[in-house]
Structure 1
Amino acid sequence: MTKPAPIGVFISEEQIQTRVKELAGMINRDFQGQDVVVVGVLNGSFIFCADLVRHIQTPVNIEFVSLSSYEGTNSSGEVAFRMDVKQSLEGKNVIVVEDIVDTGLTISFLLKHMKLKNVKSLKLCSLLRKKARLKVDVPIDYLGFDIEDKFVIGYGLDFDGRYRELPYIGVYGE
Structure 2
Amino acid sequence: MLNTQQAREILANADLLCAADTVQTALHRVAAEINASLADQHPLVLSVMGGAVVFSGQLLPLLDFPLDFDYLHVSRYGNAQRGGELHWKVAPRENVQGKTVLVLDDILDEGETLHAIKQRVLELGATAFYSAVFADKDTGKVKPIRADFVGLTLPNRFVFGYGMDIHGAWRNLPAIYAVKEN
Shared fold by TM > 0.5?
yes
1:140 aligns with 2:147: yes
1:126 aligns with 2:133: yes
2:95 aligns with one of 82, 88, 101: 88
Classify the secondary structure of the residue corresponding to 1:54: helix
1:33 aligns with one of 40, 64, 72: 40
Q: Could you tell me which residue of structure 2 aligns to residue 73 of structure 1?
A: 81
Distance 1:94 1:160 in 2: 30
Give the C-alpha shift of residue 173 in structure 1.
3.4
Task: Looking at secondary structure, tell me which structure has more strand per residue.
Answer: 1
- Conserved? CA contact 2:102–2:131, under 8 Å: yes
1:46 aligns with 2:53: yes
Letter in 2 for 1:81: W
- Conserved? CA contact 2:106–2:133, under 8 Å: yes
Q: CA RMSD in A?
A: 1.7
Taking structure 1 as reference, are residues 134 and 53 closer, same or farther at Cα in structure 2, changes over 3 Å only? Answer: farther
Unmatched segments (≥5 aa) in structure 2: none
- Conserved? CA contact 2:135–2:154, under 8 Å: yes
Task: Looking at secondary structure, tell me which structure has more helix per residue.
Answer: 2
Q: Which has the higher contact order (CA 8 A, sep 6+)?
A: 2
2:64 aligns with one of 49, 57, 62: 57
Q: Could you tell me which residue of structure 1 aligns to residue 29 of structure 2?
A: 22
Letter in 2 for 1:173: K
Cα deviation 1:91-137 (Å, max 9, x = unaligned): 11111111111111111111101111211211010111123264533
Give the C-alpha shift of residue 58 in structure 1.
0.5
Cα deviation 1:20-49 (Å, max 9, x = unaligned): 111111111112233111111111110001
Give the C-alpha shift of residue 84 in structure 1.
2.1
- Conserved? CA contact 2:94–2:124, under 8 Å: no
**TM-score scaled by structure 1?**
0.91
- Conserved? CA contact 1:153–1:159, under 8 Å: yes
Percent of pairs with identical residues: 23
Unmatched segments (≥5 aa) in structure 1: none
Distance 1:59 1:67 in 2: 26
Give the C-alpha shift of residue 86 in structure 1.
4.5
